[in-house]
Amino acid sequence: MQNPDASKLGWPLWLFVTATLVSNIGTWLFTVGSSWLMTELDGSALMVSLVQTATMVPLFLFALPAGALGDVFDRRRSLLITQAFLIVSTAVFAWIVMTDRATVFLLLLFTFFNGLGAAFARPMMAAIIPQLVSKDLLRTAVNLGGISFNLSRAIGPALGGYLITRYTLSLPYWVDAVSFLTVLVYIWYWNDDRENLEAGRQPPLTLAMADAVRFYRHSPALRHSTLRALSFFFAASALWALLPLIARDRLSGAADLYGYLVGAAGAGAVLGGLLLSKTSWNVEANRLIWLAGAVMAAGLAVLGFSYSVPLSFAAVLACGASWQAGYTTLMTSTQYALPRWFGARGMAFYLMATSACLAVGSAAWGWIADLTTLSISHYAAAGTLLLLLLLGRRLQLDQARESDLSAAHPLFTVEYASGEQEAHVRLLRTTYTFPPDLREPLEKRLDDLEGSRYRSGALRRQISRYPDAPRIEEDVWLILDAPYTPARLQTTRHDADLQDSFEHWLAENGAEWRREVLVIEHA
């Protein structure tokens, strides 16, 4: 397939990428400052790795409610609040560091706050990208976002190490606080153009989260993408968790060397992203993730034995390139699987998977390094990465790449009784009658439609088979909550086409069907 022209992405996406680039440079200043501050407060491998854990735990805990918030409420207002929170939180910690009041507890607490702000911002920020480009440009747009992020990783750490070494440890935090203003200004002028966001017509947060869980369970394309993310990022987290110790203990460097190493990983990711933009449309996604994993495992193994600064830089550069390849491949596969009304919630599952890997993996590799050596921890991470990639080989990526996930006529439409406002249960029964020889293929087709039913709003489904009669009954339970039922019973064009094809097949083969409402009761 031909690689789309990046010049067609449009200025809204380029402004978005530029704003996030500046903000992410500031975030890397915070990360470098916090990691190096921890080496001064408590230099054990476990405590240094806990800095990354404290950043990622909030993403795991709050990404789903944040994603639901971004799908059912005003993303613009929510993002403005999160950016203001990050500005205040980071500025307060900058003052704490400047006045020499920093402790291990305060460092981990404010790192947690920084991760909390990111947890509420990232699902919504990731869901904005499909609003800015068409689907055929999505991989290019995601790769551009990844290049931007990793360019910030190349600039931010090097700048952070320089500021710490030449000036003061508090300066990176002050710069980070100011950098959040770029996203705040962009979001201030950005227009959320999604439909069906009328006040009072969106479900409560708890129901939106429950709908997201049901959609995730019955969307193999989404589920496989997030599970493959687990298999890649858990072991790859060793790169970031142990890099401060590589700089300090293995290479006998200071904060600036650590910053340059992280910057090298970012530079490698930028180069990998540029290469990926030329090759990813010619390399199948499942092969690409294997290649990225193999390069990452080799880079981690080299870091396990290298005492050479140039060799370590080369290994980190290669790891950065493979990180970008894995990031773009997995995130694009996730984005392909999401209709617009599940965009932020779907990305929340991806972010939960990656943040869990980085949080648990970072602590695990630091703990192993404390128990054994830095070398063994790196070798263990490399071997684990290859093993997990092998175990996950049946989880296919890009399953929804060619699927039309635009909105279609709802699969389930039930009229309310006059004046009905409370939540009610509807049992929709579809009775199929058919020629006797059609039973087996009909049962198979109904089984294949299970995911489509749940993705379109079904809470429960049951198939009743009658071996002694040419009849099958399909029961679907719905809970209808006026006035936001339409927001919960949305159907993609892909699922609508599956139903149209099924009905056409029934008619061609002499089968008949009849749908009726059998149960009406309070939920």
In a domain, 430, yes or no: yes
- 361 and 456, same domain (yes or no): no
- 418 and 462, same domain (yes or no): yes
> pLDDT at position 2, please?
44
In a domain, 197, yes or no: no
* Structural domain count, the chain: 2
- 367 and 442, same domain (yes or no): no
* Mean pLDDT within 298-321: 93
Cα distance between residue 188 and residue 75, in whole Å: 11
The pLDDT confidence band at residue 201, using thresholds 50, 70 and 90, is: low
Q: Of the residues 356, 391, 426, which one is the last residue of a structural domain?
A: 391
C-alpha to C-alpha distances, 293 to 233, 239, 273, 393, 419, nearest whole angstrom:
9, 13, 15, 12, 58
> pLDDT at position 235, please?
92
In a domain, 417, yes or no: yes
- 311 and 421, same domain (yes or no): no
Q: Would the pLDDT of 218 be above 90?
A: yes
The pLDDT confidence band at residue 193, using thresholds 50, 70 and 90, is: low
> pLDDT at position 422, please?
57
* Mean pLDDT within 314-323: 92
Cα distance between residue 245 and residue 261, in whole Å: 11
- 337 and 411, same domain (yes or no): no
Percent of the chain with pLDDT over 70: 90
pLDDT tens by residue, 474-498: 998 887 666 677 777 889 999 999 9
- 15 and 161, same domain (yes or no): yes
Q: Would the pLDDT of 1 be above 50?
A: no
Q: Would the pLDDT of 241 be above 60?
A: yes
- 278 and 423, same domain (yes or no): no
Determine phi and psi for 266, rounding to 5 degrees. -65, -40
pLDDT tens by residue, 395-454: 899 898 888 988 888 888 766 555 555 557 778 899 999 898 888 999 999 999 999 999
- Got the DSSP string for 172-200? HHHHHHHHHHHHHHHHHH-----SS--TT
* Boundaries of domain holding 379: 7-191+205-391
Q: Would the pLDDT of 281 be above 90?
A: no
Q: Would the pLDDT of 171 be above 80?
A: yes
The pLDDT confidence band at residue 140, using thresholds 50, 70 and 90, is: confident
Q: Would the pLDDT of 330 be above 60?
A: yes
Query: Which CATH number is 502's domain given?
Result: 3.30.70.100
- 133 and 215, same domain (yes or no): yes
- 106 and 231, same domain (yes or no): yes
338: which 2 tokens? 């999401």
> pLDDT at position 91, please?
93
Q: Where are the beta strands (DSSP E) in 205-321?
A: none
In a domain, 429, yes or no: yes
The pLDDT confidence band at residue 182, using thresholds 50, 70 and 90, is: confident
For the chain, the straight-line distance linking the first and the last C-alpha, in angstroms and rounded, comes to: 50
The pLDDT confidence band at residue 53, using thresholds 50, 70 and 90, is: confident
- 463 and 382, same domain (yes or no): no
- 364 and 452, same domain (yes or no): no
> pLDDT at position 60, please?
78
- Of 60 and 471, the structure prediction assigns the larger pLDDT to 471
DSSP 8-class letter at 133: S
Q: Would the pLDDT of 502 be above 90?
A: yes
Q: Of the residues 337, 363, 391, which one is the last residue of a structural domain?
A: 391
Cα distance between residue 210 and residue 64, in whole Å: 10
> pLDDT at position 283, please?
67
